[in-house]
Structure 1
């Protein structure tokens, strides 16, 4: 019979691995040199595959939080943790939609006619809301039925990453008068910085996963 603690530890490692790989691919994809070297299709594929790993990590985190809202007080730490996981998972799905849309458009494109993937404003907004709720849960982690669900180093890094993604979404806004993005620097730089924050958070989470994690 599988030990519940061991099974949960394995799922936590898969969760962190999903965020590790996803954030690494987003970080690489945000580097202009990669877009030039990989071409339209390769660049779009990098972000699409990265979004799939983000969704894998988000789904596992949501599943570990319980697939139904916690009973009792809606303002409890467990409720904040559950809603944070759900909204983050929804954000990753939105990134799936935006990256696959760009991937399809990249198939017939040429380097001179393709601008590449741009940060998704709705997915970025979902990440930011999720991070705010995660801060609430971390601030009251002693109330969580699983105190290991939220750590301060991971929560702060994810918040910084979400803020960076928000800046990237603003920078990627297309100015109607010119048809150009508001800031190429922030569009790429925000994505890169956010990806680094998520990567480090996932790396620390994987490092500190206890072998005797309490079963949910």
Structure 2
């Protein structure tokens, strides 16, 4: 089954990052470790979303070329070079963006202000070893928080205790949509449409928004 994975603050080619990641002696050791971890987890069927501060310079884009995932989404961070053409120079990069909505989440580099969440959760990076107190709404994908290994969307949901719709819930939703279209149910019985006013053509009562 294809999955979506997230990882942020890779800082490929950024020599000064070694001051804050003393477990690595050289930037090559640092970059190789992260790339190997990505390739161990993410398959050719998956999508990888890199949540900012990815490449420090043009030379470090070679690190992206070594990632075997053919569907990489680059979300630009404050340390990324906005003059680099990621899509043109790296075959695997299919998307380049700033903050965006994905499923029930906002995906950003820097954590969004709580008032801007508008009922959604926030997958972010930027914090490195620091964490936000609000763990119910925020999830950090900084390398230091994830042992330099990508995390799947399903695992993020599990850790944040986000309840997923049950299969039966989806079936009920499908039946509602089919009912609106006059399509037969699984049992072969037509699902009745909403009753209409013959004179005006306006449906009686208010329909619930699905």
TM-score using structure 1 length: 0.30
The answer to which structure has the higher helix fraction is: 1
The answer to which structure has the higher strand fraction is: 2
For CA contacts below 8 A with separation 6 or more, give which structure has more relative contact order: 1
TM-score using structure 2 length: 0.30
